[in-house]
Amino acid sequence: MMADTQTKEATKNMNMIEAINSALDIMLERDQSTVILGEDVGYFGGVFRATAGLQEKHGKTRVFDTPISECGIIGVGVGMSAYGLRPVPEIQFADYIYPGLDQLVSEAARIRYRSAGDYICPMTVRSPFGGGIFGGQTHSQSPESMFTHICGIKTVIPSTPYDAKGLLIASIEDNDPVVFFEPKRIYNGPFSGYYDRPVEPWSKHDGSDVPEEYYRIDLGKANVVREGEALTILAYGTMVHVAKAVVAEVGIDAEIIDLRTLLPLDIDTIEESVKKTGRCMVIHEATRTSGFGAEIAALVQERCFYHLEAPVERVTGFDTPYPHSLEWAYFPGPIRIGMALKKIMEQ
Amino acid sequence: MAKPDKPNMPVLKLHIPEPAVRPGDEADFSNIVVPDVDQIARPDEATKPEDLRELAFGLVRVLDDDGKATGSWNPGLTPDQLREMLRHMMMLRAFDDRMFRAQRQGKTSFYMKSTGEEATSVATTMALSRDDMCFPSYRQQGILVTRGYPLVEMMNQIYSNRGDHLLGRQLPIMYSAPDYGFFSISGNLTTQYPQAVGWAMASASKGDSRIAAVWCGEGSTAEGDFHSAMTFAAVYNAPVIMQVVNNQWAISSFSGFAGGERTTFAARAVGYGVAGLRVDGNDPLAVYAAMRWAADRARTNNGPTLIEYFTYRAEGHSTSDDPEAYRAAEEYAKWPMGDPVERLKAHLIGLGEWDDERHIAQAEELLAQVKAEQKKAEEKGVLGHGLHQPFETMFTDVFEDLPWHLKEQSEQMVTEQRSKFGPDWEPK
């Protein structure tokens, strides 16, 4: 799975938080225009500790706390970009991003277009997203398809510490605005979706073997995490791990592709795989209607229609707010995926 | 980044606020000025905002350093009213302690205490009419305690159990209680501010007599919603009381990150042409007096008021927080405004209307009551132990009626559960 360009010299076992912290540290060191801002990211190092130690190391004007104003955080990011900085704001939870939406959607996303390149916005908005932590409806949402629907924003979602670091560095170096959603359920360890089984630490997963130095994983490149012939499963973030666990449990020869970047999407890898397997399933935790799975289904039928042996199957969260106590009945876990596998293979 | 092309020009510097002390340092509040009681006398409720400006920079106090109630703001409460106020605050503290402990015992996912800030929800609610509408943030459980909402209902919500009136949907402490004039709590910050103004505008437009009160923390005043609310309240002269509980800390960010280094939070009122009061938030009588003044003002069509309660968050932000990682230990012990429960107790003892034995006995009685309610709540389940809400409640209330796609998904959920628990499983 580590097909990306890099030499694996000094590697270290890292969880996803540590890998993100390492990416930020390296970019602060390499590029003096990089700045980190957000609620509690400075002295405290972030509520999930992603920026721990960075203010002390790089100084208060490079890593700093902000007022509780997502509109302000993203808006000043646009302004800092106009000056020539490369801001990396953190929105504490993806559920809190909405007050900043106007600055993101109407400003950051369009500044290059509307000024014909006079101004750009090389900003990377990091934000923990997704559920599985009993966070209720305001600490569990997966709003990624709201951003893929906006022209001018790239959307990136890592599924391992290794990918998180390489993708975050590439996002920060990208000259366009990137929304970088971090699946908080897997910050400390991959999650199989079998919530009643013991939690596995990252140290047992090869994706936690992370180079200490600089490396990039180019945006727009998916990762085939399991090769197979029976069907193609497309997933990202936490759901990559759930898909792998279910496929292993069911014993089906699925090809599992971790999309990693939703936009720009690696359509070539998807097309090649679906044409090979003839079946396609997309899994996401986000609500179903107008979710990213709908876009995938459309693309696959446009490009692979005559290769398909079954309709594209979507496995998703239900179209309700994320519940608190019934979290596991909501989550698209092994049962839902297992039933969908059965259905798509029987056709 | 340095630009030496204009060497004779001053070098610009970015200011990043920094609190005076950090972990390992000695707590120090020597910069806080506590003016004398009645440094600014209580004005008439009908006074125009432009004649009230200095109140936004002062500090309304009633209890002096000896615990005596003095000055023009003294609301003149009876000993019975004072004892009731003390009882509510002590109940709130007992409730918070038990629920915090329940979270630590794994009975729920989350809890938030209001320790040290009890006056800002109890005394304020006592100064309102029972039918006035409250739009709380997440730390005003004292409103419910004061209005007599059953504790067991609060606990059911905290446990997301079978008795939970909110059907296990919401994060613990995000209550909703319309019969008690208590709006549904959002997990998003300050969204309730413009909503309270809208409720007050509606009440005014219908010729009602009820007013609205809304709370947020000083950190959340940075959100745009706060400023939209202030503008609308001023434009429509809405009968609303907007309150900022300045407890000094927004998770790890001290009030300087909300602008507290530059001016008071009450002073936000001045620019909008709204009355602004800054109040000792740990003086329950001052809090009561300020709310009463603002409520009378709103009720007589004299317009909205912004009140800042100067207080201190004695505990962590929530059960997910560790304040020792970012602020000096022992800060609360040195807080110059003291503790609201202790101050009211001392005041009552000074009046000869209370004593230590009664205080201890009342604390024990309230704890026993909380424990008894807790036992009742736990009979209906705690989070993650089976006695949750019927599964079908996941799909109801997204809309008034269930559209086809939710019906389909609801059937899917039943099929999934049956595949796990057997064909006889029913969505209960």
B340 shares its domain with B414? no
Residue B99 in tokens: 């629920």
Residue at B23 is within a domain: no
Say yes or no for a CB contact (<8 Å) between A320 and B320: no
Q: Where are the alpha helices (DSSP H) in B147-190?
A: 151-159
Q: What is the pLDDT of residue A142?
A: 97
Say yes or no for a CB contact (<8 Å) between B252 and A98: no
The domain total for chain B is 2
Q: What is the pLDDT of residue A6?
A: 52
A209: which strand partners?
A13
Say yes or no for a CB contact (<8 Å) between B171 and A60: no
B103 shares its domain with B227? yes
B399 shares its domain with B287? no
Chain A: residue nearest B399 by CA? A320
Facing B187 at nearest CB: one of A60, A137, A289: A137
Residue B422 with chain A: CB contacts under 8 Å = none
Chain A: residue nearest B421 by CA? A335
The whole-angstrom distance between B89's CA and the closest CA on chain A is: 29
Facing A136 at nearest CB: one of B187, B253, B416: B187
Contacts of residue B361, Cβ cutoff 8 Å, sequence gap at least 6: none
B414 shares its domain with B356? no
Residue B420 with chain A: CB contacts under 8 Å = 335
Chain B: residue nearest A335 by CA? B416
Facing A43 at nearest CB: one of B223, B326, B419: B326
Residue at B241 is within a domain: yes
Q: Using CA atoms, how far apart are residues A274 and A298, in angstroms rounded to an integer? A: 13
Which band of pLDDT confidence, cut at 50, 70 and 90, is reported for residue A1?
Answer: very low
B220 shares its domain with B174? yes
Q: Using CA atoms, how far apart are residues A116 and A128, in angstroms rounded to an integer? A: 32
B373 shares its domain with B408? no
> B interface mutation test: which of A33, A56, A62, A68 has the most B CBs within 10 A?
A68
Percentage of chain B beyond pLDDT 70 is: 99
> Is it the case that residue A190 has pLDDT exceeding 90?
yes
A36: which strand partners?
A63, A88
Say yes or no for a CB contact (<8 Å) between A44 and B258: no
Facing B394 at nearest CB: one of A65, A136, A329: A329
Q: Using CA atoms, how far apart are residues B112 and B323, in angstroms rounded to an integer? A: 13
Q: What is the pLDDT of residue A196?
A: 87
Chain B: residue nearest A39 by CA? B253
Nearest to B269 by CA among B34, B14, B40, B50: B50
B218 shares its domain with B293? yes
> Is it the case that residue A22 has pLDDT exceeding 50?
yes
The whole-angstrom distance between A7's CA and the closest CA on chain B is: 32
Residue B172 with chain A: CB contacts under 8 Å = 324
Domain of B234: which CATH number?
Answer: 3.40.50.970
B301 shares its domain with B399? no
Residue A325 with chain B: CB contacts under 8 Å = 160-161, 164, 168-169, 383-384, 388-389
B340 shares its domain with B411? no
Q: Using CA atoms, how far apart are residues B281 and B120, in angstroms rounded to an integer? A: 6
Contacts of residue B4, Cβ cutoff 8 Å, sequence gap at least 6: none
Residue A321 with chain B: CB contacts under 8 Å = 169, 398
> Is it the case that residue A8 has pLDDT exceeding 80?
no
| Beta strands across the sheet bearing A280-287 | A223-226, A254-258, A231-235, A280-287, A313-317
Nearest to B53 by CA among B293, B272, B367: B272
Facing B224 at nearest CB: one of A69, A135, A138: A69
Which band of pLDDT confidence, cut at 50, 70 and 90, is reported for residue B428?
Answer: confident
The whole-angstrom distance between B343's CA and the closest CA on chain A is: 32
> Is it the case that residue A295 has pLDDT exceeding 90?
yes
Please say whether the beta carbons of A261 and A309 come within 8 A.
no
> A interface mutation test: which of B409, B410, B419, B428 has the most A CBs within 10 A?
B409
Residue at B32 is within a domain: no
Residue B399 lies in domain:
391-421
Chain B: residue nearest A321 by CA? B398
Q: Where are the alpha helices (DSSP H) in B42-117?
A: 79-104
Residue B326 with chain A: CB contacts under 8 Å = 43-44
Which band of pLDDT confidence, cut at 50, 70 and 90, is reported for residue A3?
Answer: very low
Residue at B191 is within a domain: yes
B134: which strand partners?
B182, B213
Residue B428 with chain A: CB contacts under 8 Å = none
B279 shares its domain with B407? no
Q: Using CA atoms, how far apart are residues A94 and A237, in angstroms rounded to an integer? A: 14
Mean pLDDT (chain B, rounded): 96
Say yes or no for a CB contact (<8 Å) between B320 and A47: yes
Residue B408 with chain A: CB contacts under 8 Å = none
Say yes or no for a CB contact (<8 Å) between A324 and B189: no
> Is it the case that residue B3 has pLDDT exceeding 70?
no
Facing A324 at nearest CB: one of B171, B250, B415: B171
**Catalytic residue set of A:** 139
Which band of pLDDT confidence, cut at 50, 70 and 90, is reported for residue B5?
Answer: confident
Percentage of chain A beyond pLDDT 70 is: 97
Q: What is the pLDDT of residue A347?
A: 87
Residue at B30 is within a domain: no
ipTM: 0.91
Say yes or no for a CB contact (<8 Å) between A288 and B409: yes
The whole-angstrom distance between A23's CA and the closest CA on chain B is: 22
* Type of residue found at A279: R
Q: What is the pLDDT of residue A2?
A: 47
Number of Cβ pairs < 8 A linking chain A and chain B = 144
Chain A: residue nearest B156 by CA? A325
Provide DSSP, B16-36. Answer: ----S--TTSPP--TT---PP
Residue at B221 is within a domain: yes
Element of type H or E holding B246: strand B240-246
Say yes or no for a CB contact (<8 Å) between A68 and B252: no
Say yes or no for a CB contact (<8 Å) between A43 and B398: no
Residue-wise pLDDT for B116-165, tens only, equals: 999 999 999 999 999 999 999 999 999 999 999 999 999 999 999 999 99
Chain A: residue nearest B403 by CA? A319
Residue B259 with chain A: CB contacts under 8 Å = 67
Q: What is the pLDDT of residue B7?
A: 87
Q: What is the mean pLDDT of residues B262-289?
A: 98
Facing B224 at nearest CB: one of A39, A99, A338: A99
B87 shares its domain with B159? yes
Q: What is the pLDDT of residue B2?
A: 54
CB-based burial label for B361 (10 Å; 0-12, 13-18, 19+): exposed
> Is it the case that residue A215 has pLDDT exceeding 80?
yes
From residue A300, how far is each of A93, A148, A337, B401 by CA, in Å? 32, 17, 19, 33
Facing A330 at nearest CB: one of B388, B394, B415: B394
Please say whether the beta carbons of A317 and A331 come within 8 A.
yes
Please say whether the beta carbons of B321 and B139 come within 8 A.
no
The whole-angstrom distance between A324's CA and the closest CA on chain B is: 5
Residue-wise pLDDT for B172-231, tens only, equals: 999 999 999 999 999 899 999 999 999 999 999 999 999 999 999 999 999 999 999 999
Chain B: residue nearest A319 by CA? B406
Residue B114 in tokens: 């209001």
Say yes or no for a CB contact (<8 Å) between B394 and A324: no
Facing A326 at nearest CB: one of B168, B186, B420: B168
Residue-wise pLDDT for B233-252, tens only, equals: 999 999 999 999 999 999 99
Q: Angle B284-299/B79-104 helices, nearest 10 degrees?
A: 110
Say yes or no for a CB contact (<8 Å) between B110 and A134: yes
Residue A172 in tokens: 């920060």
> A interface mutation test: which of B223, B415, B417 has the most A CBs within 10 A?
B223
Q: Using CA atoms, how far apart are residues B199 and B213, in angstroms rounded to an integer? A: 10
B262 shares its domain with B397? no
Residue at B7 is within a domain: no
The residue behind tokens 């329940």 is: B102
Residue at B127 is within a domain: yes
Say yes or no for a CB contact (<8 Å) between B171 and A136: yes
Q: Using CA atoms, how far apart are residues B98 and B258, in angstroms rounded to an integer? A: 32
Q: Where are the alpha helices (DSSP H) in A260-326?
A: 267-277, 292-304
Say yes or no for a CB contact (<8 Å) between A326 and B16: no
